[in-house]
Structure 1
Amino acid sequence: MKTILAFAGSNSSASINHELVKYTVSQVPKFRIQLLRMSEMPFPMYSSDTEKNDGYKNSLIELHEDIKKAAGLIISVNEHNGNPSAYFKNVIDWLSRVDRKFLADKKIFLMSTSQNERGGQSSLSTVKNMLPRFGADIIDTFSLPFFNTNFSLEEGEITDVDLKTEHLRTLNDFLDQL
């Protein structure tokens, strides 16, 4: 059975992007799901000095291996001031030091959500353009605007019918490619 690795690009324990990822993987049949909670994976800020003096953390090597083993990735990126979070960029920086093409031929379903009407689209666009530099194949994207209005934490699902339909369509496009 093929494995999908799924995580949010946020290290917040209350990440709405993690909630979107959890919902997304609940809609995936016939795949083994490896759902990561990035708030449990602290990484020091990347610097060449830290890399030279301390090397790579075991959690970084394990994440790199998990990516390599996965048939595809589901990632939801958060947005800070119109950009991906420093945490997510830092994880990418570390992974690219282990292996510049750490996403070689990896099919990715890329998502984002936020509390506003744009749903993290600026961050989503930035990451969509960034990840192919490391070998990623972005299959599809999905943005969920107004998280508190369009997602029920109690039910753990998208509540807006049109957005729910669009999410399932883009998810199935991704799954069909695996």
Structure 2
Amino acid sequence: MKLLAFAASSSSKSINKQLATYAASLVPDATVEILDINDYEMPLFSQDREDELGQPDAAKAFYAKLGQADAIIISFAEHNGSYTAAYKNLFDWTSRINMKLFQNKPMVLLATSPGPGGANTVLTAATASAPYFAADVKASLSIPSFFDNFDSDKQEITNPDLLDELQSALAQLS
């Protein structure tokens, strides 16, 4: 299985990237590619910019990466209860290539934050909207209080209940 994983965050210290990378490592027999959405940075989307620029090569490349995967893991950072601006912009540009940008791929959607909410607000929004963009969402999971439940030195979840939930979610990809 070709598994694509990424954080919906542009932070170089993203805890969501740590979570996505760790989750992908738990999928047996997967060839994993970890994307950095910073590699797909584009001007802010607007109809005027699209009329002027057409579809940016970065959006085409991101769409192609999604299409080459057999399954996808995304871990969402939450900014003020919503998607990060970096992810939303990439999503907006890519959806102009094809509204079915997730191309019916099986997906596990994750989110985490330092606080007890675990970025659950953005995860709920992503889980609800993803099927409209041809995502086959198999499971979603919020990891609350990241630094209490994840050992950054060992790069692993330390809470056995959350680990069980994550493994159950990931098992649905195969």
Q: TM-score, normalised by structure 2?
A: 0.95
AA aligned to 1:161 is: P
Distance 1:126 1:91 in 2: 17
Q: SS at the partner of 2:116?
A: coil
Q: CA deviation at 1:141?
A: 0.6
Distance 1:129 1:111 in 2: 13
Q: Tell me if structure 2 keeps the 8 A contact 1:120–1:145.
A: yes
**Pairing 1:55–2:54 present:** yes
How many correspondences in the alignment?
174
AA aligned to 2:46 is: S
Q: SS at the partner of 1:59?
A: helix
For the aligned residue pairs, the C-alpha RMSD in angstroms reads 1.2
Q: Tell me if structure 1 keeps the 8 A contact 2:4–2:32.
A: yes
Q: SS at the partner of 1:124?
A: helix
- Identity within the alignment, %: 34
**Pairing 1:83–2:82 present:** yes
Distance 1:19 1:104 in 2: 25
Q: SS at the partner of 1:115?
A: coil
Q: SS at the partner of 2:137?
A: strand
Q: CA deviation at 1:90?
A: 1.3
The residue number in structure 2 matching 1:161 is 160
**Pairing 1:23–2:22 present:** yes
Unpaired runs of 5+ residues, structure 2, are: none
Q: SS at the partner of 1:66?
A: helix
Q: CA deviation at 1:59?
A: 2.0
Q: CA deviation at 1:54?
A: 1.6
The residue number in structure 2 matching 1:71 is 70
The residue number in structure 2 matching 1:46 is 45
The residue number in structure 2 matching 1:152 is 151
Q: Tell me if structure 2 keeps the 8 A contact 1:101–1:135.
A: yes
AA aligned to 1:21 is: A
Q: Tell me if structure 2 keeps the 8 A contact 1:11–1:40.
A: no
Distance 1:39 1:66 in 2: 14
Distance 2:150 2:92 in 1: 31
